[in-house]
Amino acid sequence: MARTKTIHRCTECGAEYPRWAGRCDTCGEWNTLVEEIVAPRASTPSARRRGGTTTLGEGGSVAATTRIADVKGSESRRWKSGIDELDFVLGGGIVPGSMVLVGGEPGIGKSTLLLQVAARLQQGGLRTLYVSGEESPLQVKLRADRLAEPSADVALLSETQLETILATGAAMDPQAMFVDSIQTVFTSDLEGAPGNVGQVRECAARLMRFAKDSGTTVFVVGHVTKGGGIAGPKTLEHIVDTVLYFEGEGSLDQRVLRATKNRFGGVDEIGVFRMTEQGLVAVANPSELFLGDRLTTASGSAVTALLEGTRPLLVEIQGLAAKAGFGTPQRVATGYDGRRLALLLAVLDKRAGLPFAQLDVFVNVVGGLRVQEPAGDLAVAAALASSVYDRTLPPDAVFLGEVGLAGEVRPISQVERRIAEAEKMGMRTVYLAERSIPRGPARARLEARDIRAIGVTNIGALFERLFA
């Protein structure tokens, strides 16, 4: 059989080339050529011809349209995986016929999670097919043996060729199919090696079509590259319905599952798990786990909610101000910009009378995180003031605000999403700029959930409130 015709297209400028090259001759960008299949044009020759005497729509056939009101099916038909945190992040369960990408660094637990989901669904009476291109059936079985879930009836397939996977899927017609991982799958229609952008995109697109045509929900694992993207930045994210990221510190056993895109639900929710000897266990109260090592009885600790890209994240900031020895006082910041700290110290000194000129100052963002947005200022200021006064901050308080040169507390973006994350982590009191306080229905929502939003105009007023 003749090989499908492919071209290499530049992702920057769209220029086409018959074969791959490191650099695009048209726009001069490097490493932007991606292999793609040339769509068979024979069927619609004139519709594609530009200019000339083309009649619009020539070569196409008339398709039936549907009134919105007549569209069958409803959103409510979802499968529960029984793993509550996952169902929650998905927006209330698994949508039949959808495609879900689970991304994360190697070793974080993607295969473990999906095998557990497969086991639960199979137990719940659904047909499941677990395709592993990374591990042999024996390796998968050994993992399954560790898990607390009975996974005996899950069908296994060790395969990397897309055509075989799709044919097996079509023959078996499972309700849920798991592909671990997209980087190992390849189609023989493309020349590129498995894992390259062209292969990943084409395989994902065909799996997506399979999901839509068959009603099978397809879960795919995607390894995250150094830059934090999944195989070719954004390539996969655009194709699939839902993107879940599985994250965690390698050395700690906590894992966070987040939706960063969801056509069937919100993206504000996170699910928290613990990796145990018997697989992943959902954590009912994440705030306990996350801020669990925080010493709320010690001064100098404040919590803020950052936005990582589109993702809110709660972090603890520690500040320590100690009497300086001889010479210039020390300023050491870990995870926080040194110049921003110098500026903030000057503001605290001048506007709130804190005597930093005689103090060594240390700031540490816990967990190896970096605070890059000004929204963390208020928490840094509160942590440092707490240390100077040697008074603790309310354990359930979160600080959201930028601090200006006049000591004023400034509004920040996406306050409601940050508050939602803080609430999920068990926080109840929010200190923020007066202008940031949600109004109207949003305010009523906060009150209904017992969240106190306290507006502060400047740091002096905040410290008076906290330490007076």
Establish if 184 lies at the interface with Mg ion (CB under 5 A): no
Cβ 114 to ligand TYD shortest distance, Å: 8
Establish if 301 lies at the interface with Mg ion (CB under 5 A): no
Establish if 117 lies at the interface with ligand TYD (CB under 6 A): no
Beta-strand pair 155-158/6-10 = unpaired
Residues in contact with Mg ion, counted by CB under 5 A, come to a total of: 1
Looking at the Cβ atoms of 221 and 352, the one nearer to Mg ion is 221
> Taken in order 349, 355, 360, 361, is the CA torsion positive or negative?
negative
Partner touching 355 among Mg ion, ligand TYD, none, CB below 5 to 8 Å by kind = none
Span near ligand TYD by CB under 6 A; candidates 65-73, 123-131, 274-282, 293-301: 274-282
Looking at the Cβ atoms of 253 and 434, the one nearer to Mg ion is 253
Looking at the Cβ atoms of 223 and 424, the one nearer to Mg ion is 223
Is the CB of residue 378 less than 8 Å from the CB of residue 402?
A: yes
Q: Cis (ω within 30 of 0) for the bond into 81?
A: no
Is the CB of residue 267 less than 8 Å from the CB of residue 259?
A: yes
Cβ 275 to ligand TYD shortest distance, Å: 5
Give how far the C-alpha of residue 446 lies from the chain's centroid of Cα atoms, to the nearest Å: 25
For residue 208, give the nearest of 186, 164, 167, 239 by alpha carbon: 239
Binding residue (CB under 6 A) for ligand TYD from 28, 57, 107, 266: 107
Tokens read off for 377: 């200022």
Establish if 112 lies at the interface with ligand TYD (CB under 6 A): yes
Distance CA 295, CA 116 (A): 35
Binding residue (CB under 6 A) for ligand TYD from 14, 28, 60, 106: 106
Cβ 168 to ligand TYD shortest distance, Å: 22
Partner touching 112 among ligand TYD, Mg ion, none, CB below 5 to 8 Å by kind = ligand TYD
Tokens read off for 365: 């963002």
Please name the amino acid found at residue 465: R
Binding residue (CB under 5 A) for Mg ion from 32, 81, 111, 151: 111
For residue 172, give the nearest of 159, 190, 191, 189 by alpha carbon: 159
Q: 241 Cβ partners below 8 Å, 6+ apart?
A: 95, 98, 99, 100, 261, 262, 263, 264
Distance CA 144, CA 138 (A): 10
Cβ 112 to ligand TYD shortest distance, Å: 3
> What are the backbone dihedrals phi and psi of residue 114, each rounded to the nearest 5 degrees, phi first?
-70, -35
Q: Please name the residue that has the structure tokens 């639900």.
A: 265
Distance CA 358, CA 74 (A): 66
Partner touching 275 among Mg ion, ligand TYD, none, CB below 5 to 8 Å by kind = ligand TYD
Establish if 232 lies at the interface with ligand TYD (CB under 6 A): no
Please give the angle made by the CA atoms of 257, 159 and 243, to the nearest 5 degrees: 20
Binding residue (CB under 6 A) for ligand TYD from 8, 9, 78, 110: 110
Contacts 24+ apart (CB under 8 A), 13-22: 20/192
Span near Mg ion by CB under 5 A; candidates 103-111, 171-179, 304-312, 450-458: 103-111
Tokens read off for 266: 């919100």
Establish if 109 lies at the interface with ligand TYD (CB under 6 A): yes
Cβ 113 to ligand TYD shortest distance, Å: 7
Cβ 458 to ligand TYD shortest distance, Å: 47
Residues in contact with ligand TYD, counted by CB under 6 A, come to a total of: 15
Looking at the Cβ atoms of 111 and 301, the one nearer to Mg ion is 111
Looking at the Cβ atoms of 158 and 334, the one nearer to ligand TYD is 158
Establish if 143 lies at the interface with ligand TYD (CB under 6 A): yes
Distance CA 212, CA 96 (A): 9
Tokens read off for 97: 């016929």
Partner touching 278 among ligand TYD, Mg ion, none, CB below 5 to 8 Å by kind = ligand TYD
Looking at the Cβ atoms of 106 and 355, the one nearer to ligand TYD is 106
Span near Mg ion by CB under 5 A; candidates 107-115, 261-269, 371-379, 388-396: 107-115
Binding residue (CB under 6 A) for ligand TYD from 90, 108, 140, 415: 108
Is the CB of residue 386 less than 8 Å from the CB of residue 319?
A: yes
DSSP bridge pairs for 99: 218
Helices 162-172, 197-214: inter-axial angle, 10-degree rounding: 10
Looking at the Cβ atoms of 143 and 370, the one nearer to ligand TYD is 143
CA dihedral 149, 152, 153, 154 (to 10 degrees): 70
Contact residues for Mg ion, defined by CB under 5 A:
111
Q: Provide the binding-site residues for ligand TYD, judged by CB under 6 A.
A: 104, 106-112, 143, 146-147, 275, 277-279
